[in-house]
Structure 1
């Protein structure tokens, strides 16, 4: 049974009548990861934001987005969506700096979110916040929660945002380029953490990325988008081993060439 089933999702500009997302369909099963890949402007983020009602009032959606086999998210009112976003579906945004209010400490914002959505006491919420930060391999979490957003790096803020999402223990996490602000070592650690936590908690994951290597490592299914269109969708191994669409072939071949070039340069350095 699918946890989330999207059918013929379209996003249209009300003024110009332009289709920004053009009939996207996919399923997200329980305890699985769907990777969404494509170039900048392909509609990856817009697709997931449309599902959660996070798009501009100048845009409208069409189609179906059935959550938990009974709720059409595209027809839900603002209050229903707010409850679902707060408790059952969490979204990790690409720009971590804009996700936190600069006037309050990281700890205050994490604690208030947990109190509001999980009915915890302040002590319980603080304890859970610290434990979540520790899971993201953040050193001295007791000190980090006292910091204001401007006192932390983009990478550290991203980890705090991921920690907050995980602490909510949602059914679905939508991660929009969550490793963009991290260096390669931290990227690998965070991706592994996502993989382990998904396996342990059973949380389903929609992982948006331009990095095919990350998606291949983390996801079971993959959706490839280009210029607002769904050009390929299927099991990760099938798509990588036998891509059907020319754009997917280009992405896979480009990644293989980059991998070969990197390996070649590393061999040269070792030889020297």
Structure 2
């Protein structure tokens, strides 16, 4: 048993056939794992399968364990609701899929902070405390305070990606 993530015999299928075949790996807490391959080789499908975000018509079998919690695939929407944001966060290549275009970047990072606190049974931080943590989270990814006041469309793709990373890390997920 690990306090990280264990994926066992993951198979992802669509009507076109098997997209990911029998993949297994262990990712210890605090470590990195690179899944590399050509375009279309199943990297994104693997990530989506272990976070419960597969598109319609695509199914997964196998299991994924987050610490002591093992999820047999396929799993219900309710099962994944307790995992996403708390145990796992998926950031895709296009940050526009992670960020709302109508809300300021700082607000979006603050929502992640509030969600984390709620998950731990704590009240949402006071506005000043949340703003301070937003600045800290943005600084962790190399962004200045002013980015918090901007909307995603005002930023380059690379800066948007860093905002999405800051928001994801603010939830303090396991993966």
Q: TM-score, normalised by structure 1?
A: 0.58
RMSD: 1.7
Shift of 1:122: 4.5
What is aligned with 1:99? 98
Q: Which residue, 135, 143, 154 being the options, matches 2:157?
A: 154
Question: Contact (CA 8 Å) 2:103, 2:151: kept in 1 or not?
Answer: yes
Deviates more, 1:70-79 or 1:161-170: 70-79
Shift of 1:11: 0.9
Shift of 1:153: 0.5
Instruction: Indicate yes or no: 2:17 matched with 1:18.
Output: yes
Instruction: Indicate yes or no: 2:172 matched with 1:169.
Output: yes
TM-superposition CA deviations, 1:115-150 (whole Å, max 9, x none): 1332322423222111110111212x1x21111110
- Distance in structure 2 (CA, Å) of the matches to 1:67 and 1:165: 17
Larger Rg: 1
What is the number of equivalent residue pairs in this alignment? 168
Q: Which structure carries more strand by proportion?
A: 1
- Distance in structure 2 (CA, Å) of the matches to 1:168 and 1:116: 7
1:55-204 alignment, distance < 5 Å? 55-72=54-71, 74-119=73-118, 120-123=124-127, 124-139=129-144, 141=145, 143-172=146-175
Q: TM-score, normalised by structure 2?
A: 0.87
Q: Which structure carries more helix by proportion?
A: 1
- Which stretches of structure 1, 4 residues or longer, exceed 4 Å deviation after superposition? none
Per the alignment, do residues 83 and 70 of structure 1 end up closer, same or farther by CA in structure 2, a change over 3 Å counting?
Answer: closer
Secondary structure of the 2:35 match is strand
- Distance in structure 2 (CA, Å) of the matches to 1:138 and 1:131: 9
Question: Contact (CA 8 Å) 1:73, 1:81: kept in 2 or not?
Answer: no
What is aligned with 1:239? none
- Distance in structure 2 (CA, Å) of the matches to 1:72 and 1:61: 12
- Distance in structure 2 (CA, Å) of the matches to 1:76 and 1:121: 33
Shift of 1:86: 1.4
TM-superposition CA deviations, 1:30-73 (whole Å, max 9, x none): 22111111111110111010111101121111112122133216
Higher relative contact order, structure no. (Cα contacts within 8 Å, ≥ 6 residues apart)? 1
TM-superposition CA deviations, 1:79-118 (whole Å, max 9, x none): 3312321122122221112211111111122212321332
Question: Contact (CA 8 Å) 1:100, 1:149: kept in 2 or not?
Answer: yes
Per the alignment, do residues 128 and 116 of structure 1 end up closer, same or farther by CA in structure 2, a change over 3 Å counting?
Answer: same
